[in-house]
Amino acid sequence: MNWRAYLEHPAINISSLVLMLKSPQHYHQNQQYGEPPKDTDPMRFGRAIHKAVLEPDKFEALPIWRGGRRAGHAWSDFCTEHGIPGADYVTGDEVAKCLQMQIAVRSHPIAGAYLDMPGDAEKSVLWTHRSGVECKSRIDWIAHPEGAPIVDLKSARDATLRGFGRSAANMHYHVKAAFYRDAVEAAGFGRRPFVWVAVEKEPPYAVACYRATDEQLSVGQRDYEWLLERLLNCGDTWPGINDDAEADLWMPNYAYDDDTLELTLDGVSLA
């Protein structure tokens, strides 16, 4: 199943499901199956990175746009020839960056060892959750040897332990990991460990590998199952953020720190 066919399949995927953390209204707005799937240049470039690292042959087959600004007759002819939108391509600058990231990941002693195992890249899994919900998952890399980890490739601004950890929390990576792990098990690959391979998007294209802990996966499992239950309870209604009642405003702890917070107006302290 190619990316576009996967995107258009009506089963529930975790990237959409986590929108329920905002509200059912946000989730429902995203589910427009009659419309062409939304796509952006960062999403397209992200797929190109995945192809370069995980599917080099497919990366080499991508059409390359070298005409600069994407407008005019030359761009129109390029789109017509290669079926764009609807098909992927790369620019000349993106090719160079993708190849540098490919080398960085493939030459990394841990990440390279995972990807050198026989396995499948960009594996689409259609599966049924025990609640009866039809789900879908797109697995970056699943190695064939029994017990080998599920590998999720992430391009990152900061691949350090703290930097990537903050991104993981903000983007709910642990919730997605638990969902992917259940998908892989449903597909008959057994209960696998889960690893993120993070590669920075700028030189020196540093690479780091992080294993999801049992605690993180347990919390992720709890959270995604709660989201599925919330979805099932919506029926035909899609509540917003707090339709039932107003809530007390939440602010981070540093907002209450009198030692560091100083309010001024036109240079006059209000403290």
Domains of the chain: 11-235 (3.90.320.10)
97 DSSP 8-state letter: H
Give pLDDT, residue 251.
86
pLDDT bin (cut points 50, 70, 90) of residue 269 is low
> Is residue 28 within 8 Å of residue 17, measured between CB atoms?
no
Computed on alpha carbons and rounded to an integer, the radius of gyration of the chain in Å comes to 22
Q: What is the pLDDT of residue 111?
A: 97
**Summary mean pLDDT of the chain:** 90
Contact (Cβ atoms closer than 8 angstroms) between residue 171 and residue 152:
no
Handedness of CA 214, 15, 3, 155 (dihedral sign): negative
| 41-55, 76-90, 211-225, 251-265: segment of lowest average pLDDT | 251-265
Contact 199, 158 (CB under 8 A): no
State how far the Cα of 148 lies from the Cα of 117, in Å rounded to an integer: 9
Helix (H, G, I), strand (E, B) or coil at 123: strand
Tokens, residue 199 = 């590669």
pLDDT tens-digit map of 128-143: 999 899 999 999 999 9
Q: Which residues of 29-47 are buried (b: 16+ CB within 10 A; e: fewer)?
A: eeeeeeeeeeeeeeebbeb
pLDDT-derived band at 199 (thresholds 50, 70, 90) equals: very high
pTM for the structure as a whole:
0.86
How far apart are the C-alpha atoms of 178 and 223, rounded to whole Å?
9
Report yes or no: 155 and 49 within 8 Å, Cβ to Cβ.
Answer: yes
